[in-house]
């Protein structure tokens, strides 16, 4: 059914929370995603010309890098992006065959590859670029929120998390039920002022992004950097200055 | 957006075909068209070939064309599915209408009813085609109130030009119809110009800041792309066209799609005879080229919000 399921009372909304403040842009989540999903529920994730020029293929997760601000106040932000499992996913309602669907029980948006005709309309309807066409299989592919991990009873309970969350070396990704206001993911979103991407389009993404904290690069730090250049310090002073900076974090 | 040739041919040909069905379904019962059975055969065959040819072409755009029949199932939510359903439904009353007109020369009762029904369903099909694009919020150049009128206007202008040519082959002096065709072509031109003006002077609400939640420290711009090579998203949604080509192609669309067909139609109505037939035929040929260029631009000028993640700052 491509019509959206009737919302249930107290629905489960499984999703990710991504912390833009601490993501270091290592691409481990994208690599782990590709590694797991190439042989997972939506696999294979076809690659074309993988060892030559103009290599391209299907990935569910991509890490963009942005710069915010100008000059000394500027900051680099690494920005992982995958399917946001929206509450109002137009990718589902535009599907002419019913291949694209949203699960009522946990809100995960999936593609039934057996009936997908590869018309690509869902990829046009997604503002976020979450869906990719597999030119080898002729069907659309997308993030499954690792549905074959999170419910997999063959895995240890602590491993029942999406591959991207498991692998993140700096804990910038969190997985949980965003429909439950008392869940740890909902609490971190509330505490850090997490928000939606392109809220103006009304897709109501379930995945939330935590904005970078303000004031990490305060003017006093900028001044210290300037002062160091102006009058050279003795090695001992430099060590103390470093300890001071470390402790005042 | 990537302009796929199969989709361009589909929307232009079936737009003209279904518009022609509207004109035949309403025009024949109202005795505004030649009533001969041979005219009915030629006109209906042209309409059906254009409409069905376009629909067949659209299947080449699919990754799995053998499953195309599944697209009829989700008419409750999907404009693409609705378009499929209405396009196929249109052929049912068209068949009765065509058989009644061509084989029995009858323009009464059931045949008239089926003509009107076919016209209504053909109009619904064109509306659905427009809505497939107009319903897509990520693409500002499509998600606006000019798109559906644009599809109707371009379809009707093509349908009128084809019908004008066919009428010339059967009737010697149909000057009233030529003037009507001229008015429709000029109206379509006006709508297209308004559409172009709209997309030139406005942009979508989404920006790189709203797409990334960034911007509290100042302007946001892409530092590094996630991958060094093109991917599906960039090939399909990130299609870009150089400004100078865009303006040049708009001139081609203006001239071939509207200017030349309008002049040739006017010429046909003034001259009559064989020259008029040739003029009307050239008007169709010129419009075909113009509408294909127009439709190519409709895709090429459309900017998707996913490009905000790849360096675009507005869409």
- Out of A65, A77, A127, whose CB is closest to B206? A127
Q: Are A69 and A158 part of one and the same domain?
A: yes
Q: Are A71 and A147 part of one and the same domain?
A: yes
State the nearest Cα–Cα gap between B136 and chain A, in angstroms. Answer: 5
Average pLDDT over residues B80-103: 97
Average pLDDT over residues B192-209: 97
Q: What is the DSSP letter of B165?
A: H
d(CA A115, CA B227): 30
What digits encode the pLDDT tens for the residues B220-273? 999 999 999 999 999 999 998 887 899 999 999 999 999 999 999 999 999 888
Classify strands A62-68 and B220-224 as parallel, antiparallel or unpaired.
antiparallel
- Out of B76, B138, B233, whose CB is closest to A125? B138
Q: Are A193 and A231 part of one and the same domain?
A: no
d(CA A147, CA A144): 6
Q: Is residue A160 part of a domain?
A: yes
d(CA A136, CA A126): 21
State the nearest Cα–Cα gap between A4 and chain B, in angstroms. Answer: 9
- Out of A68, A98, A118, whose CB is closest to B62? A118
How many structural domains comprise chain A? Answer: 2
Q: Are A168 and A246 part of one and the same domain?
A: no
Helix/strand/coil (H/E/C) assignment for every residue in chain A: CCCCCCCCCCCCCEEEEEECCCCCCCCHHHHHHHHHHCCCCCCCCCEECCCCCCCEECCCCEEEEEEECCHHHCEEEEEEECCCCCCCCHHHHCCCCCCEEECCCCCCEEECCCCCCCCCHHHHHCCCCCCEEECCCCEEECCCCCHHHHCCCCCCHHHCCCHHHHHCCCCCEEEEECCCCCCHHHHHHHHHCCECCCHHHCCCCCCEEECCCCCCCCHHHHHHHHHHHHCCCCHHHHHHHHHHHHHCC
- Out of A59, A75, A197, whose CB is closest to B211? A197
CA A138 and chain centroid, separation: 25
Q: Is residue A248 part of a domain?
A: yes
Residue A225 pLDDT = 45
The answer on pLDDT for A228 being more than 50 is no
Residue A71 pLDDT = 86
What digits encode the pLDDT tens for the residues B120-137? 999 999 999 999 999 999
Q: Is residue A222 part of a domain?
A: yes
Least reliable range by pLDDT among A43-47, A226-230, B273-277: A226-230
Query: Does A66 sit within 8 Å of B214, measured CB to CB?
Result: yes
Q: Are A96 and A178 part of one and the same domain?
A: yes
Please give the residue range of the domain that contains residue A228. Answer: 218-249
State the nearest Cα–Cα gap between A154 and chain B, in angstroms. Answer: 33
Instruction: Compare all CA atoms of chain B with the CA of A61 and give the residue at the minimum distance.
Output: B226
Residues 221-240 of B with CB under 8 A from A: 221-227, 229-233, 235-237
How many percent of chain A have pLDDT more than 70?
Answer: 89
Average pLDDT over residues B277-303: 97
Tokens 């200017």, located at residue: B259
The answer on pLDDT for A219 being more than 80 is no
The answer on pLDDT for A192 being more than 50 is yes
Q: Are A67 and A102 part of one and the same domain?
A: yes
- Out of A2, A93, A117, whose CB is closest to B64? A117
- Mean pLDDT (chain B) is 95
Residue A230 pLDDT = 47
Residue-wise over B217-247: b if at least 16 C-beta within 10 A, else e?
beebebbebbbeeebbbbebbbbeeeeeeee
Residues 125-144 of B with CB under 8 A from A: 132, 135-139
Q: Is residue A1 part of a domain?
A: no
Q: Is residue A88 part of a domain?
A: yes
Residue A223 pLDDT = 52
Q: Are A109 and A232 part of one and the same domain?
A: no
- Out of B70, B206, B208, whose CB is closest to A97? B70
Q: Are A164 and A33 in contact (CB under 8 A)?
A: yes
Q: Are A174 and A227 part of one and the same domain?
A: no
The answer on pLDDT for A99 being more than 90 is yes
Q: Report residue A7's pLDDT band, with 50, 70 and 90 as the boundaries.
A: low
State the nearest Cα–Cα gap between A64 and chain B, in angstroms. Answer: 5
State the nearest Cα–Cα gap between B29 and chain A, in angstroms. Answer: 35
Strand partners, A152: none
Average pLDDT over residues A74-96: 97
Q: Are A39 and A151 part of one and the same domain?
A: yes
Q: Report residue A226's pLDDT band, with 50, 70 and 90 as the boundaries.
A: very low
Q: Are A243 and A176 part of one and the same domain?
A: no
B79 and A CB contact within 8 Å: yes
Residue A53 pLDDT = 86
Task: For residue A133, list chain B residues with Cβ-Cβ distance below 8 A.
Answer: 63, 232, 236
Residue A217 pLDDT = 56
Q: Which residues contact B257 (CB under 8 A, 6 or more apart)?
A: B154, B189, B192, B286, B287, B289, B290, B291, B293, B294
CA B20 and chain centroid, separation: 12
Tokens 């499929």, located at residue: B84
d(CA A229, CA B41): 89
Q: Are A206 and A224 part of one and the same domain?
A: no
- A64 φ/ψ angles, rounded to the nearest 5 degrees: -95, 155
- A74 φ/ψ angles, rounded to the nearest 5 degrees: -75, 155
Residue A216 pLDDT = 54
Q: Are A245 and A162 part of one and the same domain?
A: no
The answer on pLDDT for B142 being more than 80 is yes
Task: For residue B72, list chain A residues with Cβ-Cβ distance below 8 A.
Answer: 96
What digits encode the pLDDT tens for the residues B13-66? 999 999 999 999 999 999 889 989 999 999 999 999 999 999 999 988 899 999
Average pLDDT over residues A183-188: 97
Least reliable range by pLDDT among A44-48, A72-76, B113-117: A72-76
The answer on pLDDT for A236 being more than 80 is no
CATH number at residue A72: 3.30.70.20
Q: Is residue A192 part of a domain?
A: yes
d(CA B156, CA B15): 8
Classify strands A208-210 and A14-19 as parallel, antiparallel or unpaired.
parallel
Instruction: Name the token pair of A121.
Output: 């309309």
Q: What is the DSSP letter of B63?
A: S
Query: Does B137 sit within 8 Å of A202, measured CB to CB?
Result: yes
């Amino acid at each position: 059914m491509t019509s959206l399921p009737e919302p249930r009372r107290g629905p489960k909304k499984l999703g990710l929370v991504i912390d833009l403040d601490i993501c270091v842009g290592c691409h481990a989540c994208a690599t782990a995603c590709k590694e797991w999903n190439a042989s997972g529920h939506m696999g294979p994730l076809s690659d074309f010309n993988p060892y030559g020029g103009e290599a391209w293929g299907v990935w569910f997760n991509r890490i963009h890098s942005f710069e915010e601000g100008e000059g000394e106040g500027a900051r680099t932000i690494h920005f992982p992006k995958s399917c946001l499992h929206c509450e109002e996913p137009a990718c589902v309602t535009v599907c002419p065959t019913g291949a694209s669907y949203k699960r009522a029980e946990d809100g995960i948006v999936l593609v039934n590859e057996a009936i997908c005709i590869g018309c690509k309309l869902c990829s046009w309807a997604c503002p976020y670029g979450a869906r990719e066409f597999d030119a080898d299989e002729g069907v659309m592919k997308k993030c499954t929120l690792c549905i074959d991990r999170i419910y997999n009873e063959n895995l240890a309970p602590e491993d029942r998390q999406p591959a991207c969350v498991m692998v993140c070396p700096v804990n910038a990704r969190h997985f949980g039920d965003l429909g439950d206001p008392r869940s740890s993911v909902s609490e971190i979103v509330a505490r850090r002022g997490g928000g939606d991407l392109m809220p103006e389009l009304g897709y109501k993404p379930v995945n939330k992004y935590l904005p970078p904290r303000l004031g990490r690069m305060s003017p006093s730090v900028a001044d210290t950097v300037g002062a160091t250049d102006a009058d050279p310090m003795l090695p001992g002073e430099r060590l103390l200055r470093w300890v001071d900076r470390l402790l005042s974090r | 957006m990537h302009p796929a040739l199969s989709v361009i041919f589909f929307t232009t040909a079936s737009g003209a075909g279904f518009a022609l069905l509207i004109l035949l379904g309403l025009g024949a019962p109202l005795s505004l068209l030649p009533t001969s059975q041979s005219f009915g055969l030629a006109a209906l065959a042209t309409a059906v070939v254009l409409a069905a040819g376009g629909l067949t072409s659209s299947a080449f755009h699919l990754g799995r064309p053998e499953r195309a029949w599944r697209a009829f199932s989700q008419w409750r939510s999907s404009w693409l599915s609705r378009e499929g359903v209405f396009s196929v439904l249109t052929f049912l009353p068209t068949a009765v209408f065509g058989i009644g007109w061509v084989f029995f020369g009858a323009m009464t009762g059931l045949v008239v009813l089926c003509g009107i029904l076919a016209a209504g369903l053909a109009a619904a099909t064109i509306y659905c085609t427009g809505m497939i694009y107009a319903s897509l919020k990520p693409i500002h150049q499509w998600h606006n109130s000019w798109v559906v009128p644009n599809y109707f206007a371009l379809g009707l202008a093509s349908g009128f030009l084809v019908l004008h040519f066919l009428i010339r082959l059967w009737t010697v002096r149909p000057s009233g119809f030529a003037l009507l065709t001229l008015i429709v072509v000029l109206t379509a031109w006006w709508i297209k110009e308004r559409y172009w003006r709209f997309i030139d002077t406005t942009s979508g609400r989404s920006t790189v800041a709203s797409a990334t939640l960034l911007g509290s420290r100042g302007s946001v711009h892409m530092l590094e792309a996630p991958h060094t090579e093109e991917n599906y998203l960039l090939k399909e949604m990130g299609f870009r066209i150089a400004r100078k080509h865009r303006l040049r192609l708009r001139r081609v669309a203006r001239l071939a799609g509207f200017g030349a067909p309008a002049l040739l139609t006017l010429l046909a109505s003034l001259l009559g005879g064989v020259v008029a037939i040739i003029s009307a035929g050239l008007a169709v040929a010129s419009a075909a080229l113009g509408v294909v260029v127009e439709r190519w631009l409709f895709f090429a000028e459309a900017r998707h919000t996913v490009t905000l993640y790849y360096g675009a700052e507005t869409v």
